[in-house]
């Protein structure tokens, strides 16, 4: 790239700008103007040929650079293909070494999956068992309370029955005492 800049700076600058008069040209200038313009055309021609040679070399370099880039790309493609092929071969070798390995791995994965599902179910079962025990305890307590109340009711009915007998007896006695009067 530095060559391109150096060549470009000297080539076009020399062709587009008129040559500056120097002290040698001033001496010759008095003799003939055609000599100085003739020299500038020769310089211009040399500059053009140098510039075209430089451009040809730059084109050659670019061409070679593209060729190298294409070869590298082709080589990378082959390397990628070989990598894929080696990966396939490695997988085949691993499966040949232990044919049941893949199945064992799948069964282990399924076991892990089922274990993950069992954990929340186990906690749910424990929670439901606690709730069941609490409900059962509450049920049994209410049942005992009911039995006690029924027992008390039966005792009260018995007392009420005795009280009614006593009242009836008193009513009969009062009734007899009224009749005797």
Identify the band that residue 40 occupies on the pLDDT scale cut at 50, 70 and 90: confident
By the 8 A CB rule, do 36 and 44 touch? Answer: no
Alpha carbon of residue 60 to chain centroid = 48
Q: Taking residues 53-80, what's their average pLDDT?
A: 93
Residue 20 and residue 53 in contact, taking contact as beta carbons nearer than 8 Å: no
Over range 14-42, report the average pLDDT.
49
Handedness of CA 130, 131, 135, 138 (dihedral sign): positive
Cα–Cα distance for residue pair 131/136, rounded to 1 Å: 8
DSSP 22: -
Helical packing angle, 2-16 and 33-97, nearest 10°: 160
Q: Which residue has the higher pLDDT, 102 or 141?
A: 141
Cα-Cα-Cα-Cα torsion 76, 77, 79, 80, nearest 10 degrees, comes to: 120
Percent above pLDDT 90 for the chain: 52
Say if residue 131's pLDDT is above 70. yes
- Given a cut of 50, is residue 1 above it in pLDDT? no
CA 1 to chain centre: 44
CA 172 to chain CA mean position, Å: 100
For residue 137, how many other CB atoms are within 10 A of its CB? 10
Within 28-143, strands assigned E span none
The pLDDT of residue 97 is 65
Predicted confidence at residue 26, as pLDDT, reads: 40
Residue 111: pLDDT over 90: yes
């Amino acid at each position: 790239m530095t060559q391109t800049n150096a060549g470009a700076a000297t080539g076009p600058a020399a062709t587009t700008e008129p040559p500056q008069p120097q002290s040698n040209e001033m001496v010759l200038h008095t003799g003939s103007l055609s000599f100085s313009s003739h020299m500038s055309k020769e310089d211009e021609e040399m500059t053009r040929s140098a510039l075209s040679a430089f451009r040809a070399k730059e084109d050659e370099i670019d061409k070679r650079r593209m060729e190298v880039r294409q070869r590298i790309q082709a080589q990378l493609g082959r390397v990628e293909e070989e990598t894929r092929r080696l990966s396939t071969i490695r997988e085949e070798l691993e499966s040949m070494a232990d044919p049941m390995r893949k199945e064992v791995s799948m069964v282990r994965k399924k076991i892990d999956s089922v274990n993950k599902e069992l954990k929340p179910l186990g906690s749910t079962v424990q929670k439901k068992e606690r709730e069941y025990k609490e409900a059962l305890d509450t049920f049994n307590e209410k049942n005992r309370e009911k039995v006690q109340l029924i027992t008390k009711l039966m005792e009260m009915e018995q007392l009420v029955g005795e009280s009614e007998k006593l009242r009836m007896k008193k009513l009969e006695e009062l009734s007899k005492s009224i009749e005797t009067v």
